[in-house]
Structure formats: structure tokens, C-alpha cells
Amino acid sequence: MKFSLRFFARMAFLLFVLVLLALGVVLAWFTSWRSDKLAGLEAASEVAKTSAGAVEFVARGEGPAVLVFHGVPGGYDQAMLLGSGLLEAGFQIIAPSRPGYLRTPLATGLMPEQQADAMAALLETLGLPRVAVLASSGGAPAAIQFAVRHPKQVWALVLLSPVTKRFDPFGKGRGSEFGRIVLNRLTGDIGSWLAVEMAERDPRKMLSWTLETVNTDSATPTSAIIGSVLGDPAQREWFRSFFGTFAPLSPRESGARNDLIQIRALPELPLARLAVPTLLVQGTADACVPLAEVQAAAGKIPAATLLPVEGAGHLVELGPTAAEIQKAVAAFLNQHSGGQSPP
């Protein structure tokens, strides 16, 4: 009996040591990944000193310039990803980190109006007189304010799955996945790292979870969307890269939390004052932003074109219709570019 107890005690101690060693290996792996990721993000961008404050950005390509407002959470890397198709179509992409994300301090602009002015200051610093604007999801309020407050600097506006009306992302109603994903499911840097690893190692499982989160039951069957994404190398890489723009979360968290607070208190947007051609692209099965709200927003914009995407969820960039949407956005911008180009 004494021998058995001693044996089990030794085995328990050995197991404890092995667990500690495994945790140490995982922690070292995570620490190395985080350090490399942050170094890579910093090396790939610039920080402009504008009249509104510091703004991190990346500029790529030649041709008519498109300023991209990323979603929640995000950063310049997500803005560049959102504009990647337009880059290939011959546009120049200006991809900033909105305030509170990566190296753009939150003090540069808390409210959508202030963020709009900060982006105008960035364009002034870069010497760009006019741009088109592309905005996704939670970046839409600042983009709309930019087009209203600085109309001479904008020649077209494209809104993808745009937030145009207040809701409570911390509650239990529609759109509450915004808050749950940012505050609970990513669970800091380690959680965002695990999400990136899962998207890389088991994209089918991660894609399924994502679609269940942001699509309604009326969406195109999950199996059809997954098959379309995983069967297309470009879409598969876009999906993996998209999760990479959430991580690490800590240098993006103040911006994400501020955005969620701004969305909860969002006043009525000045949609009727938009004086530029505007394209709104909205999935009919979006669980975060109902189609009816985007339809109502389009009805208030003088020169609006609404492109409803049948069966698509919040990520209209993914699925069987993704290529058609990209072509439609590029065609819309080409139609209204009027030979715009950087000086």
C-alpha cells in the first residue's frame, strides 16, 4: 500500500512537471509570436504627424486614391486587406489605423467626427487633394462624417455592411456579437493568437464558427460558403489574413472599445447631407447589421446605390458572390473617378 501511494505521488509530480514544461513551451511560442508580429506591423507602416495628431498609415499603388476606414477591431493592416482588390484593379490605397488602433493614439480622435477630421489632416499631410472612401462595418460612421465634413476631398463613397444606426453591442439584441467577440471571445492577446492559429490550422472549423456568429439562419448554407472560400486560394488567404488583423488585440483594444461605446451612443448620422455618389453593399443575412437599416440609410442619401447581396452575412467579402461584389465596387469607383489621381 505504501509503495502504491509513493508510486502515484511520483507519477502525479512527474505529470505536474510535464504540464509546467508544456505551458512554458506554449508561453515561449506565444511571446515570440507576439514580439515578431508587433515588429512586423511597425516595420510595414509609417506614422504621419498631422495637425490632428499622429496617424499611422500605409500607402500602396498608383492611380485614383481610395482612403479605407477599417472595422472593429482592426488597424492599417485590415484597411489594406479591405482595399487589396482595388489595389489590383489599379487604384492607390491609403490605409490608416483609426484612432486607438496600433500606433494611432486614441487622443487623435474619439468621436466619428474627430476621426473624420484626423483623416482629412492625414490627406493634407500626404498632399492628396481628393479621394474615394471605402469603409467597412464599424468604420462607416467616421467615413460618413468624413464625406459630409470634407466634401471637397471626396469623389465617391463605398460602404460595406455599414453601421448606420445606434445599437447596444454590449447587450443581448442584434449586433451584440460585436461586443462579445471583442471583449469575450478573443480574450486578449492570447485569445487573438489562438484565433489566428485556428484560422491557419483548421480554417474549416474557424470559418464555420465565424459564419454562425455573423450570419442569420437565412444565409446561404454554411457548407456552400465554406466550400467556396476553401476552394479558392485567394479567398482562403483573405480569410486567414482577416483574423490576423485582430491580433495581437492589446494595441487595438482601446480603439475597439471606443468604437463600441460610440456605436452605443451614435446620434443620427447626417446621411441626407452626403453630396457624393454612394454605394452601399449589404448582405441580406447579416446578423450584425439588418438589411432594413441599410435600406433606410440608402433612402436618405441623395445619390445612393444599394447593392443587396442575397444570402450573404456580415462578411460580404467572403462566399460565392465575393468576386462579383469586388467587380461591382471597382466598376462603381471607375465610373466616378473622373481621372482622379495623386499629384
Asked if the structure places residue 135 within a domain, the reply is: yes
pLDDT higher than threshold 80 for residue 39: yes
Q: What is the mean pLDDT of residues 180-205?
A: 76
Confidence band for 222, pLDDT divided at 50, 70 and 90: confident
Give the domain CATH number at 300.
3.40.50.1820
Lowest mean pLDDT among 35-39, 148-152, 325-329: 35-39
Pair 206, 200: CB distance under 8 Å: no
**What residues have CB less than 8 Å from 70, skipping those under 6 apart?**
76, 78, 79, 82, 95, 97, 98, 101, 136, 139, 245
Q: What is the mean pLDDT of residues 265-285?
A: 96
Residues comprising the chain, all counted: 343
Partnered with residue 133 across adjacent β-strands are 67, 157
> Which one is predicted more confidently, 111 or 16?
111
In the chain, how many domains are there? Answer: 1
| Percent helix, percent strand, percent coil in the chain, to nearest 5 | 55, 15, 30
Asked if the structure places residue 4 within a domain, the reply is: no
Query: Collapsing DSSP states into helix, strand and coil, what is residue 220?
Result: coil
Q: What whole-number distance in Å separates Cα of residue 48 and Cα of residue 336?
A: 28
Average pLDDT, rounded, for the chain = 88
What pLDDT sits at residue 21? 59
What pLDDT sits at residue 125? 97
| pLDDT one-digit tens code per residue, 50-66 | 999 999 999 999 999 99
Model-level pTM?
0.89
Question: Which of 93, 119, 78 has the alpha carbon at shortest distance from 256?
Answer: 78
Partnered with residue 180 across adjacent β-strands are none
Omega within 30 of 0 (cis) for the link into 248? yes
| pLDDT one-digit tens code per residue, 77-126 | 999 999 999 999 999 999 999 999 999 999 999 999 999 999 999 999 99
pLDDT higher than threshold 70 for residue 19: no
Following DSSP, what letter does each residue of 68-113 receive, concatenated?
Answer: EE--SS--HHHHHHHTHHHHHTT-EEEEEPPTTSTTS-GGG-SSHH
Lowest mean pLDDT among 123-132, 187-196, 226-235, 306-315: 187-196
Asked if the structure places residue 7 within a domain, the reply is: no
Rounded (10°) angle between helices 188-201 and 203-214: 120
Host domain of residue 239:
44-337
- State percent of the chain over pLDDT 90: 63
What pLDDT sits at residue 343? 38
Cα–Cα–Cα angle for 23, 28, 32, nearest 5°? 150
Q: What is the mean pLDDT of residues 21-35?
A: 70
- State percent of the chain over pLDDT 70: 85
Asked if the structure places residue 1 within a domain, the reply is: no
State the amino acid at position 156 in one-letter form. Answer: A
Partnered with residue 69 across adjacent β-strands are 135
C-alpha cell, 313: 452575412
What pLDDT sits at residue 337? 86
Asked if the structure places residue 80 within a domain, the reply is: yes
Confidence band for 185, pLDDT divided at 50, 70 and 90: low
| Residue carrying C-alpha cell 492628396 | 128
Asked if the structure places residue 14 within a domain, the reply is: no
Asked if the structure places residue 326 within a domain, the reply is: yes
pLDDT higher than threshold 50 for residue 341: no
Q: What is the mean pLDDT of residues 303-316?
A: 93
Lowest mean pLDDT among 169-173, 239-243, 255-259: 169-173
What pLDDT sits at residue 212? 82
pLDDT higher than threshold 80 for residue 177: no
Question: Which of 146, 90, 157 has the alpha carbon at shortest distance from 123?
Answer: 146
Asked if the structure places residue 99 within a domain, the reply is: yes
pLDDT higher than threshold 60 for residue 175: no
Following DSSP, what letter does each residue of 101-141 receive, concatenated?
Answer: STTS-GGG-SSHHHHHHHHHHHHHHHT---EEEEEEGGGHH
Confidence band for 170, pLDDT divided at 50, 70 and 90: confident
pLDDT higher than threshold 70 for residue 7: no
Q: What whole-number distance in Å separates Cα of residue 264 and Cα of residue 258?
A: 10
